[in-house]
Amino acid sequence: MKRQIELSVLWVVLVLGFLAHTLADVMPAFWGESIVAMPTSTHLRELIALMMGICYTLPVLAIFLALWGKHKAWRVIHSILACLFALFCLLHMLEWLDQFNPVQLTIMPLMAIVGIILAVKSIKYVREKPCVESKADDNEEEEDENVDNEEETEEEENKEEVSEEKEKEAE
């Protein structure tokens, strides 16, 4: 469960990075600068809306996969999402080639680092032989076996006591 919580925290940090990135774009309005974007085609606006939707909904799906996905297929899907987001964070830094924004200087490299860490940890999560949940299930099965063994031991002790009492009565 520890690895799943680590992955979930990294996804939350990534979403917070997206929020800070969006907020940093509107911060110049607080010191009197214009934040109005240049007129663009409707396709670009639709793409921006789509990317905002993806950036906030897919991490939620990935968190669900990390926490409750018991099968390896779910972990593979989670890893693919993490790698895509790491790639997206790295490629998004290419935006600086077009226009450099010093406000984003601390946010975007940090998001790229978090994205890479998330991708590496999720790949390690896929490569784990036993699933974390199956380990927990195995531990529960071992505890059940121990309880069964204790019950069998108590039954054997009771049988021995009964046989000893019968021997005493026979004497």
Q: Which residues contact 79 (CB under 8 A, 6 or more apart)?
A: 119, 122, 123, 125, 126
The reply to whether the predicted model has a pTM over 0.85 is no
Residue-wise pLDDT for 34-53, tens only, equals 777 666 666 677 888 888 88
Q: Which residue has the tokens 């600068």?
A: 33
Q: Do 97 and 158 share a structural domain?
A: no
The number of domains in the chain is 2
Q: Do 102 and 51 share a structural domain?
A: yes
Q: Would you say 21 and 111 are in contact if contact means Cβ atoms under 8 Å apart? A: yes
Q: Residue 7: pLDDT above 50?
A: yes
Q: Would you place residue 138 in the very low, low, confident or very high pLDDT band (cuts 50, 70, 90)?
A: very low
Q: Do 91 and 33 share a structural domain?
A: yes
Q: Do 93 and 139 share a structural domain?
A: no
Q: Could you say which DSSP state residue 106 is in? A: T
Residue-wise pLDDT for 73-128, tens only, equals 999 999 999 999 999 999 888 877 777 777 778 888 999 999 999 999 999 999 98
Domain that holds residue 68: 2-128
Distance (Å, rounded) from C-alpha 170 to C-alpha 97?
A: 99
Q: Do 46 and 31 share a structural domain?
A: yes
